[in-house]
Structure 1
Amino acid sequence: MSREILTVAEMTQADRQAVEQGLSIDLLMDRAGFAVAEAVMKRFPPGRAVIWCGPGNNGGDGYVVARCLHDKGWSVRVEAAAAPATEAAKRAAALWKGETVPLSPSPFPADLYVDALFGAGLSRGLEGDVAKLACACAQLNEPVVAIDLPSGFNGDTGRRLGEAVFCADLTVTFHRLKVGHCLYEGRAACGEVVVADIGLPASEGTASLFENTPDLWERHFPWPALNVHKYQRGRLKVVSGDAGKTGAARLAARAGLRIGAGVVTLLSPSGALAENAAHLEAVMLAPFESDADLRAAGEAADAVVIGPSAGVGETTVRNLFALAGTGSALVVDADALTSFRQDPEALFSALDRDDVLTPHPGEFERIFPGLLARSAERISATREAARLAGAVVLLKGPDTVIAAPDGRAVVSLNGSPWLATAGSGDILAGFIGGLIAQGMTSFEAACAGVWIHAECGRAHGPGLIAEDLPNLAPAVLAGLLARRPSVKRSGLASGR
């Protein structure tokens, strides 16, 4: 099942639908509080707990947590930021028979703290004693558990609403992830995130934003049939830069080969042939002198990667236009993006929905100037970029976002800091190009390429360099293959 990511409004609607179908708010609050208590008890030994409760239903959840932990032998103290303001929170507070005192701006000594103050629905910054407590909590050594979302963050953007915010070691949310759990600032403040099922009705088919996991695309992954040959596994071509600027394209080509493309060819300017030939084995090599040569080469390809060390300037612009007329899907990266910084519309005019743009934030700003700054968050920005470009757009980062022109979008949560190394993006472009060449749709190929790329980074860890990544891909692919019971024992042809 695909993992939906909801906005605050969508989550509110899910709660409303549950009530309309006969589930009471009190029952949902009990289930939520029990889920938080259960997550706490699985991870921490009984001890002293302080529950910080706000006036709304998030605070109501906190009163339920207090009751559950107390029943399991914990010493529990509730600190209320304000009197309960919703009917459900009032009823939950009335059922709590233990100690309740006003919120202190300094943490009371305890073994564990629970932030049940505001959750994902907060729309303004923290104030007064709550803000003071948030600042004081930055010095805590004891664990903090947040209900729904650490207080002080916007549930729809993951951004701080003010200077004072809470951070958690564990966040327990309900039904589905929210946008604020997935985008970087909020995600970094959440610690471990647990999504608890509290019995809300499924909303499959209505969401357009998902977490990027294999569930989303693995049924379309291009595993080869037993009788396949190399040309049926896809023809990928990669455009090299001039002599002295060839390494990035070779990285992309090798990545495309490792991800399964049957035939990968590096298209090299004549002056760089010797340099490229000295480093290539299974990747084929073909010269080109002009954009007309590139057009002919592109017509014999399923996908072409252009940009890694291609050079910034008019030559790359002409080369991209030549390839755009061939019908091959393009993966446009790095220098090919920057070459259009003075005229992004010209780039968009050459693209179609089978093409993929793979900018980092700086490149994104060059071809979509001001879009990130004026968007609520990077998901909205990437969706708008895909609409403007008429192509798939992949905005790199710790919370990589991929969007299609039709509005579909995913956020990748398996990113690794070890991927922040020169050449890593070239490998990603090659992975995506190789998957498109094998027949995946461009959106799904971008999603799969990003996920596999991140898993390679996580598998290696410290010391990773870009050259390591292609050789890590087979183990990740084997793991994906093992998820398919129908092919576990079939034995796949290696091609011929």
Structure 2
Amino acid sequence: MNKSSVILTGAEMRAAEQAVFASGVSEYELMERAGAAAAEIIWRAGGKRDLLILCGPGNNGGDGFVIARMLRARGVPVRVAASGESRTPSSLKARAAWAGGIEDVMNAAPASQIVDALFGTGLSRGLDGKLAERLCSLTGSAGFSYALDLPSGVATDSGALLSSIPSFGVCIALGSLKPAHVLQPAAAQWQRLICADIGIDGAMSTVHRLEPPHLAEPGPSAHKYRRGLVAVVGGEMAGASMLASHAAARSGAGMVRRLAQDVAIGGMDAIVTQQATTGTDVAKALSDPRIGAVLAGPGLGRNHHALDRLEAAIAHPHPLVLDADALILLADRGPAAIPPAAIITPHEGEFVRLFGDLPGSKIDQALAAARQTKAILVYKGNDSVIAAPDGRVAVSSGSSSWLSTAGTGDILAGLVAGRLAATGDGFRAACEALWLHGEAARRAGAAFVADDLLARLPAAIASRL
């Protein structure tokens, strides 16, 4: 796991800092590290443009005073504006080391660059209304803007906005990413996220940001069944199962069979379409031991015929991916109806229908649902969370907003099934599929439809070989 992709909650970050202090590094030394790392990032981005640093009363403000001192030493015209007196020993020390003047935040003039070092992480309530308004005004007038650790007014562990938050050019995460760096709505509040290494060990965390996968070409002995056979259980809406089948066929799997409910419709010749009208037909078609993964849900329908087909798919021991209508059908039976070790891919509405309104952040909710069902969960959205029962979590944020169009979920489900058939590893398959889905969307650009993603998948895969 890449060190810069580790995600720590506020409590985990405090524990990691305590471990640093126990090793002999003082709190103020760690503050100096944080300030130096942030100062280097700001220097590289803004050079000697005039800079205003807004400092709060705690250690985030202390980091701001360190930044001010270090950048002034490089010739940057720096001004500091404080929201009040410093209140922690380290912030008091950093403030005393700053030889310049200190203005009042409410009266400070704008600057070309601005740093929000008011509060950062750890807030339980939003900023005072006038202070929040002032932060937005000063940030909006700056050409370069930086949030230190997190914009002031963001809830660290959930990503909720506790008060009005301006948009920043850069958010500088100190030591490790926090949940708010990858969860909406907070993650939309900056253009670029940089994690500054200050010597924090996040090895204890099982939560990380989704990273580009390492894929492999088929070996010399590969053939269509060794590369993975995917069976897609179709239903009332043939187009949805076709999209999923096309995605599975382009995922790196070796072969796709679509079990159609009615007369087969046209499509890719490489996809074998087999008519399977009843649950009994589906069960018979799935008796092939070479099948590496079964996908049920896209276009399945929600009547008793669809339920019969779904039950036939669940009855077989093949690795299973459940999406869309399959999740709606099972929701009436509760989470216990989800087969252990399956991969399920709900969006928010389907998740709530299955699990109710669970407490905590989206990461907490996904992990609780995965542990409850013993299934791999892909909780979809602009911030998608993949959670495994053993505690592993991968979070993808910042996906293309153009994915909010019909059929893109069917393509993701097909990709998950294809990667599952190819790798045999549910968590890995979900991570690879989600990354490829996002990369295909990036390559497709703007105003695409789901079908457009299919043509971009081979290039997305090639980029990771």
Q: Is the 8 A contact 1:267 1:288 kept in 2?
A: yes
- Return 5+ residue gaps in structure 2 as ranges: none
Choose from 343, 346, 363 the match for 2:333. Answer: 343
Question: Given the alignment of the two structures, is residue 405 of structure 1 paired with residue 389 of structure 2, yes or no?
Answer: yes
**TM-score if structure 2 supplies the norm length?**
0.95
Matched, 1:328 2:318: yes
Taking structure 1 as reference, are residues 349 and 343 closer, same or farther at Cα in structure 2, changes over 3 Å only? closer
What are the residue-to-residue correspondences of 1:298-447 with 2, within 5 Å?
A: 298-300=286-288, 301-345=291-335, 348-349=336-337, 351-353=339-341, 355-371=342-358, 375-447=359-431
Q: CA deviation at 1:350?
A: 5.0
Summarize deviations over 1:110-145 as a string: whole Å, max 9, x none.
111111111111222212642331343474353321
After superposition, the Cα gap between the structure-2 partners of 1:130 and 1:350, relative to the gap in structure 1 and judged at 3 Å, is closer
Identity among equivalent pairs (%): 38
2:269 is equivalent to residue 281 of structure 1: yes
1:53-72 matches, cutoff 5 A: 53-72=55-74
In 1, the alpha carbon distance for the partners of 2:363 and 2:304 equals: 31
Aligned to 2:97: 95
Q: Which moved more, 1:331-340 or 1:92-101?
A: 331-340
For the 8 Å contact 2:294–2:320, the answer to whether it is kept is: yes
Is the CA contact 1:120–1:180 (under 8 Å) kept in the aligned structure 2? Answer: no
Measure, in 2, the Cα distance between the counterparts of 1:97 and 1:327: 70
Task: Note the C-alpha offset of 1:207.
Answer: 0.8
Q: How much has 1:203 moved relative to structure 2?
A: 3.4
Q: Does 1:236 align with 2:238?
A: no
Q: Deviations over 1:51-71 (max 9, x none)?
A: 111111100100011112211
Distance 1:324 1:99 in 2: 69
How far 1:170 moved relative to its partner? 0.9
| 1:262 aligned residue (237, 247, 254) | 254
Q: CA RMSD in A?
A: 1.7
Report if the CA contact (8 A) 1:222-1:440 is conserved.
no
2:455 aligned partner:
471
Counterpart code for 2:432: A
Supply the AA of the counterpart residue of 2:285: A
Of 40, 43, 46, which aligns to 2:42?
Answer: 40
Opposite residue 406 of structure 1, the aligned amino acid is: D
The TM-score, its normalising length taken from structure 1, stands at: 0.89
Runs ≥4 in structure 1, deviation > 6 angstroms?
none
1:127 corresponds in structure 2 to 128
d(CA) in 2 for partners of 1:316, 1:379 = 31
Q: What residue identity is the alignment partner of 2:202?
A: S
Q: Offset of 1:257 from its aligned partner?
A: 0.9
The letter for the 2-side match of 1:250 is: M
Q: Aligned partners of 1:142, 1:290: CA distance in 2, in Å?
A: 63
Q: Which residue identity does 2:143 align to in structure 1? A: E
AA in 1 matched with 2:145: V
Q: Tell me how far apart the structure 2 counterparts of residues 432 and 459 of structure 1 sit (CA, whole Å).
A: 19
Mapped to 2, the partners of 1:480 and 1:132 lie a distance apart of 45
Counterpart residue identity of residue 168, structure 1: F
Q: How does 1:442-453 map to 2 (within 5 A)?
A: 442-453=426-437
- Secondary structure of 1:363's aligned partner: helix
1:178 aligns with 2:181: no
| Preserved contact between residue 370 and residue 377 of structure 2 (Cα < 8 Å) | yes
Structure 1 runs not aligned, ≥5 long: 482-496
Instruction: Name the amino acid aligned to 1:230.
Output: K
Q: Say whether 1:208 aligns with 2:206.
A: yes
Q: 1:299 touches 1:328 (CA, 8 Å); kept in 2?
A: no
Give the Å deviation of 1:279.
2.0
Instruction: Return the letter of the residue paired with 1:439.
Output: T
Deviation at 1:262, TM superposition (A): 0.9
Deviation at 1:198, TM superposition (A): 1.5
Q: Contact 1:55 / 1:89 at 8 angstroms: preserved in 2? A: yes
Tell me the CA shift for residue 107 of structure 1.
Answer: 5.3
Flag the 1:190–1:107 CA change in 2: closer, same or farther, 3 A: farther
> Could you tell me how far apart the structure 2 residues matched to 1:351 and 1:387 are?
12
Separation in structure 2 between the aligned mates of residue 109 and residue 102 of structure 1, nearest angstrom: 12
2: CA distance between counterparts of 1:36 and 1:357? 40
Could you report, residue by residue, the CA deviation over 1:161-191 in whole angstroms, capped at 9, with x for unpaired residues?
A: 2x33344211112221111111011111233
Q: What is aligned with 2:27?
A: 25
* Number of residue pairs the alignment of both structures matches: 461
Of 138-147 and 10-19, more deviation after overlay is shown by 138-147
Q: What CA deviation, in whole Å up to 9, does each residue of 1:93-122 have, x standing for no partner?
A: 111111112221x65121111111111112
Question: Relative to structure 1, is the Cα distance of residues 128 and 236 closer, same or farther in structure 2, using a 3 angstrom cutoff?
Answer: closer
Letter of the 1:366 counterpart: R
- How big is the shift at 1:410? 1.2
Asked if structure 1 preserves the Cα contact closer than 8 Å seen for 2:279 and 2:308, the reply is yes
Q: Aligned partners of 1:74 and 1:478: how far apart in 2? A: 44
What SS does the corresponding residue of 2:463 show, helix, strand or coil? helix
Amino acid at match of 1:357: I
Which one-letter code corresponds to 1:239 in the other structure?
V
**Counterpart-to-counterpart distance in 1, 2:324 and 2:249:** 20
Measured against aligned partners, the alpha-carbon deviations of 1:374-412 in whole angstroms (never above 9, x if no partner) come to x22111111122122221111111110011122221101
1: distance between equivalents of 2:129 and 2:161? 17
State how far apart, in whole Å, the 2-side matches of 1:415 and 1:142 are: 26
SS in 2 for 1:340: helix
Question: Helix, strand or coil for the counterpart of 2:258?
Answer: strand
Change (3 A) 1:81 1:320: same
- C-alpha contact 1:149 1:190 (8 A) present in aligned 2: no
Q: In structure 1, how many angstroms separate the alpha carbons of the residues matched to 2:396 and 2:434?
A: 8
Judge conservation of contact 2:113–2:142 (CA < 8 Å) in 1: no
- What residue is the counterpart of 1:193 in the other structure? 193
| Partners of 2:338 and 2:122 in 1: CA distance | 42
